[in-house]
């Protein structure tokens, strides 16, 4: 014999109805979900790039604290070539971009030929990739028409 009587087990779960505010927040979260996911991905890239950037600048600062012999005269010649390029590039805006960069590149290539060759190889492969992508894009547009 039981001393206590047990109640009947007739429990039912009833969900509270959502208010207009809760429905609005739910819709807003569903709409904004792709953008927040994109922002999280971009934040990952920014943090990784900022770490690389800080490493680059710390290495550059250490390099300038203890430069190799003859670094500052070479830097002066390369910088002077850029100034001469600005002086020669009167008139056109394109000349103002091409002449200083070209003369500085020529000056740097005289002092650092091995680095120039490696940069030229990388730039050549990137230029080839970009031109191939452009060719494919133009070809797909041509075929669509």
- Return all residues near 102 (Cβ < 8 A) that are at least 6 apart: 85
In a domain, 31, yes or no: yes
| pLDDT in the model for residue 128 | 94
Q: How many CA atoms lie within 13 A of 16 on its CB side?
A: 5
The total number of structural domains in the chain stands at 2
**Residue 55 falls within a domain, yes or no?**
yes
Phi, psi of 2 (to 5 degrees): -90, 140
Q: Are 94 and 119 in contact (CB under 8 A)?
A: no
Triad 85, 88, 94: Cα angle to 5°: 75
Domain-located, residue 132: yes
d(CA 102, CA 108): 10
Domain interval for residue 37:
20-67
Residue 3's pLDDT is: 66
* Domain membership flag for residue 121: yes
In a domain, 11, yes or no: no
Asked which of 43, 67, 91 is the last residue of a domain, the reply is 67
At residue 132, the pLDDT reads 94
The reply to whether 136 falls in a domain is yes
- Which of 67, 84, 99 terminates a domain? The answer is 67
pLDDT computed for residue 142 by the predictor: 85
Which residue is listed with tokens 């990952």?
A: 44
Residue 76 in any domain: the answer is no
Q: Which residues of the chain have pLDDT under 70?
A: 1-3, 7-8, 145
Of 67, 101, 128, which residue is a domain's last? 67
CB 85 within 8 A of CB 99: yes
Q: What is the model's pLDDT at position 2?
A: 62
pTM of the predicted model over 0.75: no
- Please give the angle made by the CA atoms of 9, 12 and 15, to the nearest 5 degrees: 160
d(CA 65, CA 59): 10
């Amino acid at each position: 014999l039981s001393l206590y009587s047990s109640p009947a087990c007739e429990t039912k779960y009833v969900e509270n109805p959502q208010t207009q505010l809760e429905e609005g927040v739910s819709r807003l979260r569903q709409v904004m979900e792709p953008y927040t996911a994109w922002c999280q991905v971009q934040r990952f890239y920014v943090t990784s790039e900022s770490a690389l950037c800080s490493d680059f600048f710390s290495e550059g600062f250490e390099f300038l604290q203890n430069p190799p012999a003859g670094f500052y005269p070479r830097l002066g010649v390369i910088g002077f070539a850029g100034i001469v390029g600005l002086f020669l590039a009167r008139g056109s805006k394109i000349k103002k971009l091409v002449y200083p960069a070209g003369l500085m590149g020529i000056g740097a290539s005289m002092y650092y030929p091995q680095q120039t060759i490696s940069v030229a190889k990388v730039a050549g492969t990137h230029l080839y990739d970009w031109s191939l992508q452009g060719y494919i894009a133009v070809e797909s547009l041509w075929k669509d028409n």
